[in-house]
């Protein structure tokens, strides 16, 4: 049995949430101050942890095990980054937790520092329970932008870290069990043309014209997918989607544009081929580039995939699903419209479910909040997990 050290400080769940919300961990900023706090807190309770830093060294994920260190258990996974508050009409300081009328307000309170706070606040109780099956804590970064903050830690599972039996990703589902969501890949395409007077287009190559041909190809592929309906009735919309979020190029009406940029994405249903659209776009790019180079040999088209978030596919009867059903008192699963880190765990062969307190409807909003009722239900969920892990 692991015992607490004299320096261990106990936090009530709301107090822990207040500490976490106070860290400004918007995705474009560092999360290291929060990670250092969590490390110190766990060390105070005699719980070792492992960091997984990013390449720049300004962010890190953290993994810790409570209970037996030599076997896999149940992962409670949450991200530490939050979305920006700029441009939102907050009625209170977003980085100071404010409790009023049965709600706890603050950036990240529901998405998803609430889940992380519950897991951390219960560490002393997990330790006192003398767990037979370990509970692993895994806290990531950059979920809101790339979902890549989990990949190094996942790669270590089954190698330098125990291979978990099941993973619970605590995104806000109102403690419903989400066993499916779409995958998402995001891309940035840079087109380099050659400037010339618009009266003599044969002396250059318009990057904007090339961009419109590529954009039209993406729109055509999007239209095709509207006819490929998923008959399960679980997804809204029930087909793969392609979206162009940004299109920018050119400096004047009478100058052939020498630059055009596109930012676009593909969201695929579980079971769809995520390679199909990128492959067709690459073929189209080659055709468009060949046309440009007839008059501008220096023309170029470069596409970079900026994120790759795999979808989560239903896995009926998996250990993650059956466990979470018992803990949450549910007998069915749902699909969610948003993407999560769960697909990365599943891709690594780990049974995974998405289940956490609070509603996604309050996420990313000004005056974001989690209800105290849902926060308490999340605590009850984790205490039931503790009871299950206590007996093995």
The answer to whether the CB of 339 falls within 8 A of the CB of 169 is no
What radius of gyration do the chain's Cα atoms show?
A: 24
The answer to whether the CB of 82 falls within 8 A of the CB of 108 is yes
**How far is CA 245 from each of CA 189, 192, 215, 262, 284, rounded to the nearest angstrom?**
12, 19, 11, 8, 19
The two beta strands, 300-309 and 241-249, are unpaired
Hey, what are 67's tokens?
A: 């209970």
Supply angle C-alpha 261, 267, 268, rounded to 5.
Answer: 140
Burial class (CB in 10 A: 0-12, 13-18, 19+), 102: exposed
Q: Is 142 a catalytic residue?
A: no
Closest CA to 26 of 107, 90, 112: 107
Cα–Cα distance, 287 to 389 (Å, whole number): 58
Residue 119, Cα to own-chain centre: how many angstroms? 18
The two beta strands, 300-309 and 183-192, are antiparallel
| Active-site hit among 39, 111, 142, 143 | 143
Sequence-distant (6+) residues with CB within 8 A of 16 are 117, 118, 120, 121
Hey, what are 93's tokens?
A: 């300081």
Q: Is 143 a catalytic residue?
A: yes
Cα–Cα distance, 341 to 347 (Å, whole number): 10
**How far is CA 127 from each of CA 137, 231, 389, 392, rounded to the nearest angstrom?**
13, 46, 11, 14
| Active-site hit among 81, 171, 179, 240 | 81
Which positions are catalytic? Answer: 81, 143
């Amino acid at each position: 049995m692991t015992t607490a050290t004299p320096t261990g400080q106990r936090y009530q769940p709301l107090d822990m949430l207040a500490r976490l919300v106070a860290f400004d961990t918007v995705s474009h900023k560092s999360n290291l101050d929060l990670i250092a706090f969590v490390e110190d807190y766990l060390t105070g309770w005699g719980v070792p942890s492992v960091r997984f830093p990013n390449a720049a060294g300004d962010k890190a994920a953290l993994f810790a095990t409570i209970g037996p260190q030599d076997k896999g258990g149940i992962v409670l996974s949450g991200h530490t980054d939050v979305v920006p508050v700029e441009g939102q009409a907050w009625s209170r300081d977003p980085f100071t937790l404010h409790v009023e009328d049965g709600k706890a307000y603050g950036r990240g309170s529901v998405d998803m520092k609430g889940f992380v706070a519950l897991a951390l606040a219960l560490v002393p109780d997990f330790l006192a329970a003398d767990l037979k099956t370990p509970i692993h804590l895994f806290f990531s970064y950059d979920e809101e932008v790339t979902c890549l903050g989990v990949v190094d830690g996942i790669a270590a599972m089954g190698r330098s870290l125990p291979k978990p039996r099941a993973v619970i990703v605590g995104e806000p589902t109102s403690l419903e069990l989400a066993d499916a969501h779409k995958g998402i890949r995001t891309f940035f395409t840079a087109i380099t043309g050659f400037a010339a007077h618009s009266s003599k287009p044969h002396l250059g190559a318009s990057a904007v014209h090339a961009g419109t041909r590529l954009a039209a190809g993406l729109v055509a592929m999007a239209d095709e997918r509207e006819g490929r309906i998923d008959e399960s009735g679980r997804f809204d919309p029930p087909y793969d989607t392609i979206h162009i979020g940004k299109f920018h190029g050119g400096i004047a009406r009478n100058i052939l544009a020498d630059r055009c940029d596109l930012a676009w994405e593909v969201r695929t249903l579980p079971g769809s081929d995520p390679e199909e659209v990128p492959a067709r776009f690459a073929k189209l790019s080659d055709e468009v580039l060949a046309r440009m180079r007839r008059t501008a040999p220096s023309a170029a088209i470069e596409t970079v995939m900026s994120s790759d978030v795999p979808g989560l596919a239903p896995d009926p009867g998996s250990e993650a699903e059956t466990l979470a059903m018992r803990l949450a008192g549910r007998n069915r699963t749902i699909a969610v419209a948003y993407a999560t880190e769960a697909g990365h765990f599943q891709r690594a062969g780990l049974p995974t479910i998405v289940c956490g307190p609070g509603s996604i409807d309050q996420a990313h909003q000004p005056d974001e909040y989690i209800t105290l009722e849902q926060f308490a239900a999340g605590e009850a969920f984790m205490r039931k997990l503790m009871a299950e892990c206590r007996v093995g």
